[in-house]
């Protein structure tokens, strides 16, 4: 599998990358290359120019502030998996990063690349949805923040313009006290056939509320608002609501189908992953 010919440019800054995108409408950003290069080899993408931002220090790293975590878009899955500081304040990141593909992919692939690629079976979209992240992008008009609920607009498609660069992922702190990520992995790629990210807060009065992100099942990752509505209420009763939540979340979903999992099986796996994630949360100490 050989891609079409293309030019390569390693950007020295985000500003330089933006200038290259503005001058070259056929250009695409390259981060870890673990989604874009396979697409090019399959000839599903044929950018004339790759603008490499993968090694820019300004796009890497994890900054933990008082009221939010800020993650550079070119931070790798492995860096997110391995950060003890991040695990302390937002453990959902290490739970999800640890089940992405294999160490080779985790060492090169980036969270920004995964969010931008918006594969319907990718892991980070579910996590970003469950944690209520904001995605910061820069373009010629300056920078803007996109709430994650508005970020995924369809199959492999985001609200980011072709001449914009995703720079940082912001997650509000504190993150909910009880979290879980449950994933049924495709046996060869490791991508999610179905996965659920759950983040639940329980108030001092025992009232539970939270967010649920689902990936793998539909043509784009989605936030399960019906399920979130049903999970609100007394935490001690949540176990009795788990089945109803899972049924409600997938009731109106049009499932993906492929050689590995037909629609019915995928919906069933989605329900099972969500129930397991909710039961995990019930077992956790608040």
Ligand X SMILES: Cc1cc2nc3c(=O)[nH]c(=O)nc-3n(C[C@H](O)[C@H](O)[C@H](O)COP(=O)(O)OP(=O)(O)OC[C@H]3O[C@@H](n4cnc5c(N)ncnc54)[C@H](O)[C@@H]3O)c2cc1C
The residues pairing with 70 across neighbouring beta strands, listed in sequence order, are: 63, 170
How many other CB atoms are found less than 10 A from the CB of residue 116?
Answer: 23
The residues pairing with 67 across neighbouring beta strands, listed in sequence order, are: none
The residues pairing with 4 across neighbouring beta strands, listed in sequence order, are: none
Applying CB under 6 A, which part among 110-118, 141-149, 170-178, 271-279 lies near ligand X? 110-118
Q: Is residue 109 at the binding interface for ligand X, with CB under 6 A as the rule?
A: yes
Q: How far is 195 from 120, CA to CA, in rounded Å?
A: 11
CB closer to ligand X, 58 vs 226: 58
Q: How far is 223 from 148, CA to CA, in rounded Å?
A: 9
Q: Is residue 27 at the binding interface for ligand X, with CB under 6 A as the rule?
A: no
The residues pairing with 63 across neighbouring beta strands, listed in sequence order, are: 70
Between 51 and 70, how does the x/- string for binding to ligand X read (CB under 6 A)?
Answer: --x-----------------
The residues pairing with 185 across neighbouring beta strands, listed in sequence order, are: 192
Applying CB under 6 A, which part among 3-11, 79-87, 100-108, 253-261 lies near ligand X? 100-108
- What the block records as the tokens of 48 is 């004339």
CB closer to ligand X, 89 vs 105: 105
* Shortest CB 139 distance to ligand X, Å: 10
Applying CB under 6 A, which part among 82-90, 99-107, 239-247, 262-270 lies near ligand X? 99-107
CB closer to ligand X, 112 vs 230: 112
Between 28 and 47, how does the x/- string for binding to ligand X read (CB under 6 A)?
Answer: xxxxxxxxx-x---------
Judged by DSSP in three states, 62 sits in strand
* Shortest CB 169 distance to ligand X, Å: 10
Q: What does the buried/exposed string (b/e) look like for 265-274 if buried means 16 or more CB atoms within 10 Å of the residue's CB?
A: ebbbbbbebb
Q: How far is 68 from 136, CA to CA, in rounded Å?
A: 13
Residues forming contacts to ligand X in the complex (CB under 6 A) are 28-36, 38, 53, 73, 100-101, 105, 109-110, 112-114, 116-117, 119, 122-124, 165-166, 189-191
């Amino acid at each position: 599998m050989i891609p079409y010919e293309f030019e390569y440019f390693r950007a020295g800054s985000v500003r330089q990358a933006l200038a290259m995108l503005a001058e070259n409408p056929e250009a695409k950003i390259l981060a870890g290359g673990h989604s874009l290069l396979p697409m090019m080899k399959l000839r599903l993408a044929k950018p004339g120019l790759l603008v490499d931002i993968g090694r820019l220090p300004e796009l890497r790293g994890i900054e933990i502030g008082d009221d939010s975590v800020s993650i550079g878009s070119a931070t790798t899955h492995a860096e997110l998996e391995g950060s003890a500081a991040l695990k302390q304040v937002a453990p959902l990141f290490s739970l999800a990063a640890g089940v992405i593909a294999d160490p080779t992919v985790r060492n090169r692939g980036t969270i920004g690349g995964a969010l931008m690629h918006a594969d319907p079976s990718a892991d980070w979209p579910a996590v970003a949805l469950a944690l209520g992240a904001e995605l910061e992008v820069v373009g010629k008009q300056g920078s803007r923040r996109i709430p994650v609920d508005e970020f995924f607009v369809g199959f492999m498609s985001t609200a980011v313009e072709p001449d914009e660069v995703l720079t940082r992922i912001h997650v509000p702190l504190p993150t909910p006290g009880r979290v879980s990520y449950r994933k049924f992995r495709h046996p060869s790629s490791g991508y999610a056939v179905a996965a659920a990210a759950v983040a639940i807060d329980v108030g001092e009065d025992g009232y539970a509320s939270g967010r649920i992100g689902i990936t793998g099942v539909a043509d784009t990752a989605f936030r399960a608002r019906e399920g979130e509505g049903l999970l609100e209420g007394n935490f001690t009763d949540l176990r009795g609501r788990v089945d109803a939540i899972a049924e409600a979340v997938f009731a109106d979903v049009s499932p993906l189908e492929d050689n590995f999992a037909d629609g019915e099986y995928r919906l069933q796996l989605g329900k099972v992953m969500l129930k397991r994630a909710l039961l995990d949360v019930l077992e956790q100490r608040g």
